[in-house]
Structure 1
Amino acid sequence: MVMGSPVAASAATSYPIAPGYSVNVRSGPGTGYSVVRVLPTGSNVPIFCQRPGETVSGPYGTSNIWDNIANGEYVADVYVKTGSDGYVAPRCA
């Protein structure tokens, strides 16, 4: 399945980014990975899968969970309002 196809997009739930934050999207699950783009304030993101990575702190606590929002694009879960401190999507392969 190709990311971004209608089938893949409908399979992921969309979640809001923390109000008032623009969030770096990185090429991997940690701040040592390059920034590929920045999500503007008020963005919503799909979560296709989640994986453990660098532990970071944000408006929703401290966690090592990183959300895969597109092919090769990750955001720290502590900036995404998922309603959970744990995993809300399958683990990335």
Structure 2
Amino acid sequence: MMIGRVIGNIWATRKEDSLNGLKLMIVQRLDTVNGESLENFVAVDCVGSGIGDKVLITTGSSARKALRNPESPVDASIVGIIDEDKD
């Protein structure tokens, strides 16, 4: 899993049928050791996150399992909203 921050959303009027009804968010990956912001990517929101939320992201086949649709063309899913970091 990765930690990131939701920085925006994506609206796509035309997309693969299995993506209909899914909320697509732009996430900026965070390096929690150095405090740096890394690359941005698109993830499907499974938990109702919003812009500014710090989130947990899973990728690959785990991202599709989070959607309960192994055939969906998804590579990243938001699976948790972080309330508080403990060091």
- Higher-Rg structure is 2
Same fold (TM over 0.5): no
